Amino acid sequence: MAKWIDVAQVALERLDGERHGGKMKMTIIQLVDAHLAGRSEETVWTLPEACSRKTYHGKWKKNPIFAAVLAEVDGLAKGWRDGKALQALNEAAEGLALASPDAVAKLVERLNSFDEGIILRAATAILDRAGIETAAKSSSRANVDLRSIVELSDEELAAIVQDG
């Protein structure tokens, strides 16, 4: 919660000259926190740092400065939350991309196993995850009997993996 409050500090300072400015700020913070958490505004009115429901709906909600600051802080907080979510998705995608070469290397290592079941599972995993961008470019799809892969030599399997 503290990080979006830091971002919204300038907007909240516009309430410094208002009567009950401190209580107005805390009410806005609690309202925006409820919005971010998906809680009802009704959960705010019982908090000691926020105004009462009657004060909010009867006076403050109609105050143009209060309403503008609430809208601005709410927008900043939602933008911050959305940015954090996007950042988390980007970091996860980057982590997967960085881990992919190691995962492929482990699968390629398994192609050298003495156990035909391990070889088949590794080859299948490699082929299952090979995207269109890594597949051989041709106008027709090749039908491959995966059972025949275990009959290939290590060099042939390595060539398939490198060419794919």
pLDDT for 4 beyond 80: no
Q: Is the pTM of this model over 0.95?
A: no
Specify the higher pLDDT residue, 108 or 2.
Answer: 108
What is the DSSP secondary-structure string of 40-85?
-GGGTTTSTTS--HHHHHHTGGG-HHHHHHHHHHHHHHHHHHHHHH
Q: Cβ distance 7 to 80 under 8 Å?
A: yes
pLDDT the model gives residue 147: 52
Q: Cα angle at 125 between 92 and 162, to 5 degrees?
A: 90
Q: Residue 83: count other Cβ atoms within 10 Å of its Cβ.
A: 11
Domain boundaries, the chain: 2-90, 111-163
Q: Residue 54: count other Cβ atoms within 10 Å of its Cβ.
A: 9
Instruction: Write out pLDDT tens, residues 62-93.
Output: 999 999 999 988 888 888 777 777 777 777 77
